[in-house]
Amino acid sequence: MLRPLPDLPPHWFQILLALADEDRHGLGIMNDVLERTDGRMKLWPGMLYRNLSKLVEAELVVEVDTPPGAASGGGRPRFYHLTPIGRRACAAEAQRLNGFVQAARRKKLLKA
């Protein structure tokens, strides 16, 4: 039995989502989230790095070596990688949100 995971805060979800397809550095995550949310979620640098530290602490992401030929964000940036727990937590959150979306559909708030 796997432990049930707590709900993720929205910005954690967005950060994990940004890392779901590839390892990114902080600036990469910032830009990805900005683009994906159409500028609705701006991760400012201070908060972004603080949350990355907390995600590392919670073992949802890990720092990895800079991949060869990766786009540089200035100096030698740290790259972050989604851990299996992080992936599971992100998926669980997506599932949860999906549940809300389904409910909204059932209530005819959204088109099917």
Partner 1 sequence: MRASAWWITALVRLYPRGYRERHAAELASAMHACIDRERQRGVNASVTTVRLALDAVSASILVRRDLRRSRRLLPTLHGDSLMQSLLHEIRYSIRLLARAPLFGALVIGTLALAIGANTAIFSVVNGVLLRSLPYESPERLVLLNKGVNFQETFGFSAPDFVAFRERARSYDGLAAYRTGEFELSGVATPERIKAAKISASLIDVLGVQPALGRGFTAEEDEGRQAVAILSDALWRRSFGSDPSVVGKAVMLDRRAYTIVGVMPARAPFPSSGPRLNNVPAAVFVPISFTAGELRAFGSNYNKTVVARLKPGVSIEQARAEAAAISRQIGADVYPAELRDLGSNLATTVTSMQEEVVGNVRRILYVLLGAVGVVLLIACADIACLMLTRAAGRERELAIRTALGADRGRVMRLVLMETGVLAVAGAAVGVALAWWGQRALLAAAPIDIPRAQEIGFDVRVLAFTLTVSIAAALLTGVLPAWEASRRDSNTALKEGGRTGSAGGVRQRRIFAGLVTLQFACAVVLLAAGGLLIQSFVRLMAVDPGIKTDHVMSAATSLPASSYRTAADVRSFYGRLLDGARNLPGVTAVGASTELPLTVHERRVFTLENPPAAAANLPRATAHDVVLGQYFEAIGARVVSGRPFSDSDTLTSEPVVIVNETLARRYWLGEDPVGRRLAWGNPNNHGPWMRVIGVIADIKQTGLAAATEPQTWQPWVQLPDQLLASNVVSFRSLRLMVRSQGPPAALVPAIRDQVRALDPALPVSDVQTLDDIVAASGGPQRFNAALLGGFAGIALLLAALGVGGVLAITVSRRTQEIGVRLALGADAGAVVLMVIRQGMTLVAAGLVIGLPLAFAATRLLKSLLFETTPHDPVAFTGATVVLCAVACAACAAPAIRASRVSPMRALRLD
- Contact between 30 and partner 1 (CB under 8 A)? yes
**C-alpha closest to that of 75 among 22, 43, 27:** 27
Q: Which of 7, 10, 20, 59 binds partner 1 (CB under 8 A)?
A: 59
35 binds partner 1 (CB under 8 A): no
Q: Which listed residue (5, 11, 27, 97) binds partner 1 by CB under 8 A? A: 27
Q: Per DSSP, what are the bridge partners of residue 54?
A: none
Quick one: which of 6, 68, 69, 74 contacts partner 1 (CB under 8 A)?
Answer: 74
State the nearest-atom distance from the C-beta of 77 to partner 1, in Å.
5
Buried b (16+ CB within 10 A) or exposed e, 13-50: bbbbbbbeeebbbbebbbebbbeeeeeeeebeeeebee
CB of 30 to partner 1, least distance (A): 6
Determine the Cα–Cα distance for residues 50 and 41; give it in Å rounded to an integer. 16
Burial of 89 (C-beta count, 10 Å sphere; 0-12/13-18/19+): buried
Judged by CB under 8 A, the residue of 9, 10, 45, 67 near partner 1 is 45
Question: Residue numbers of the site for partner 1 (CB under 8 A)?
Answer: 3, 25-27, 30-31, 34, 39, 44-50, 53-54, 57-59, 73-78
